[in-house]
Structure 1
Amino acid sequence: MRFVPFVLVSAVLVANIASPASAITNGTADQGDHPAVGALIDDKPYGDGTWSYCTGTLISPTVFLTAAHCGEPGQKTAKVSFAGHYRPGAKVYTGRYVPDARFHGKSELHDMAVVVFSTAIPNIKPARLPAAGMLDRLEADKSLKTARFTPVGYGSLAPTKGPHGRRFTYTDTRNQTSISFKSISDRWLYLSLNSSKGDGGTCFGDSGGPNFLGGPTSDLLVATTISGDDDACTSTNFDYRLDTASARRFLGKFVTLP
């Protein structure tokens, strides 16, 4: 699930195949800055001994937001860990998995899903969601041009080249980084790695994870990680905006929106 491409991003966005976003690159261990960010845990380990396959964020005491492409067709439940470094035996919460009914695997649209828990997750403060149209207003007043964003996730570290192609290293550890603003469209937030600023980004395994507006301790979740435009995880990140009418239509079924 961590490695399989899920969509072709529309030619309006990019001209090449998008690869599923996975892990934080050029980042650091989260060190408890974002306890509301958790990992989706598989039923059995991957070949490298790791267990997480996607990332998400607690947005209410009982609702965890992730990406719809992280689920399998017909999937009914999902397991989530909020451990900073997941190990077998760590606490796992099982909830009802609900993808946006408008999503299908041949499109990048409506790539949202929630895991709904029967009881509140204890001792974790949910992340905040943006008000309607917030990013549009920030773009209009030029604030986005210099804004910083903080992606968080459990995905692969920066891929390395090997004799048989790129090698992705997973550690089941929650990491964070900082990334620069590039542009927005009516559904997407585009974030671009700027080497002069030491930016990092997302990669395989970070899918569904948060992009917080602001610095390393921000809890304002404005977009979820969906994809990138290269397999090296070194270029533009495509993130699904949560302040649009379309996204809020889905989210409003599960949480009270600002």
Structure 2
Amino acid sequence: MLAVATAALALLCPSAGAVQGGTPDGNGHPNVGLSVFLYHGIPLWRCTGTMVAAKVYLTAGHCTGIDTDLGVAPDSAQVWFTSGAIPRGTHGFDGTPCKPTDTGYPCKGEFSGTPVPHPGWNGFLTQPNTHDIGVVQLTQAPNVGLSKVAPAGYLDTLATQRGRQDVDFTIVGYGVQFESPNLEVALRQRFVGTNQLQNLRSHLAGGFNLIMSDSAGNGTGGSGTCFGDSGGPVFHTDSDGQVWQVAVISYGTKYCHGSSAAFRLDNAQARAFLSSQGVPLN
């Protein structure tokens, strides 16, 4: 499969794979799915996403929109909600279009739909407002449950909390468990892990991005994001026990170590886009 979009900033790359240092999710988040995006039937890349309305699958803009290196934008998507590992199908992964007779991953998902990027997505991770949000409008409702989108300004209350490192987020994704210059380990299985808040106010955050640590375990109990996690949910549980989806995973540092960023859902821009796509807001 072709590579995902390359980030505009040095050492930053889209996180378009499984949560490093996490554990198999099982049935913990059944509405989080694995998606393959295609152009004229050719599989391009894979991402993670979440059901937020009956037929609306929320993911990243760089999953649903144009890749400036390839000069194309996906025109269809296939989605699976099986926790995995999702087996490979009959396609040869040779850059050719899927045939009508091809079955399974990456050509024939459990559900299919049309990708819709945010209208501001231009193929670059222009900081801080990347517009890195998109949806897939599915043709059928999966009926796997829905995540609740965080209310407006939800994350701002965390920015000034004492002990920011103690603010934990739950991340869920499919795919790469290890990334190095010469090796990639990808499982196509849903994993869940925990990341910690770094900041919301840096020049890279700017009110649009949530910056998290990518410890990938390392004795801290944390985890990290990597390729294929792009578009996956970032959840936060409030003091009343309500779980909110606060962001979608956007990009990370090279080889998936250091920090990662997620595009916030609680800002006016994201909320306007989600509302236009039929997503109920709180």
The TM-score bracket by the shorter chain reads: 0.7 to 0.9
Q: What amino acid is the match of 1:34?
A: H
Residue 30 (1) aligns with residue 25 (2): yes
1:37-79, CA deviations, whole angstroms, 9 ceiling, x for partnerless residues? 0011356898xxxx97111111111100111212353433211
Residue 78 (1) aligns with residue 62 (2): no
Partners of 2:16 and 2:63 within 8 A in 1: no
Give the superposition deviation at 1:119. 3.2
- Aligned residue in 2 for 1:152: 172
Distance 1:226 1:127, change over 3 A: same
- Aligned residue in 1 for 2:198: 182
Q: What amino acid is the match of 1:82?
A: F
Structure 1: runs of 5+ lacking an equivalent: 10-15
How many residues align structurally? 241
The answer to which structure has the higher strand fraction is 2
Structure 2: runs of 5+ lacking an equivalent: 67-71, 90-103
1:106-142, CA deviations, whole angstroms, 9 ceiling, x for partnerless residues? 33411111111233222x1111110000000232444
Question: Once structures 1 and 2 are overlaid, which stretch shifts more, 182-191 or 20-29?
Answer: 20-29
Distance 2:42 2:73 in 1: 21
Identity %: 30
Residue 120 (1) aligns with residue 147 (2): no
Give the alignment of 1:231-246 within 5 angstroms.
232-246=255-269
- Aligned residue in 2 for 1:13: none
Give the alignment of 1:55-70 within 5 angstroms.
55-70=48-63
Question: Once structures 1 and 2 are overlaid, which stretch shifts more, 202-211 or 84-93?
Answer: 84-93
Distance 1:55 1:130 in 2: 19
Give the alignment of 1:13-28 within 5 angstroms.
16-23=10-17, 24-28=19-23
Distance 1:5 1:82 in 2: 24
Give the alignment of 1:85-124 within 5 angstroms.
85=84, 86-87=86-87, 88=89, 89=104, 92-108=110-126, 109-122=130-143, 124=144
- Aligned residue in 1 for 2:225: 202
- Structure-2-length-normalised TM-score: 0.77
* Counterpart secondary structure, 1:54: strand
Q: What amino acid is the match of 2:20?
A: T
* Counterpart secondary structure, 2:176: coil
Give the superposition deviation at 1:155. 2.2
Distance 1:97 1:202 in 2: 23
Give the superposition deviation at 1:196. 4.2
Partners of 2:174 and 2:191 within 8 A in 1: yes
Residue 228 (1) aligns with residue 252 (2): yes
* Counterpart secondary structure, 1:169: strand
* Counterpart secondary structure, 1:192: strand
Partners of 2:52 and 2:149 within 8 A in 1: yes
Partners of 2:151 and 2:281 within 8 A in 1: yes
Distance 2:42 2:191 in 1: 20
Aligned alpha-carbon RMSD (Å): 2.6
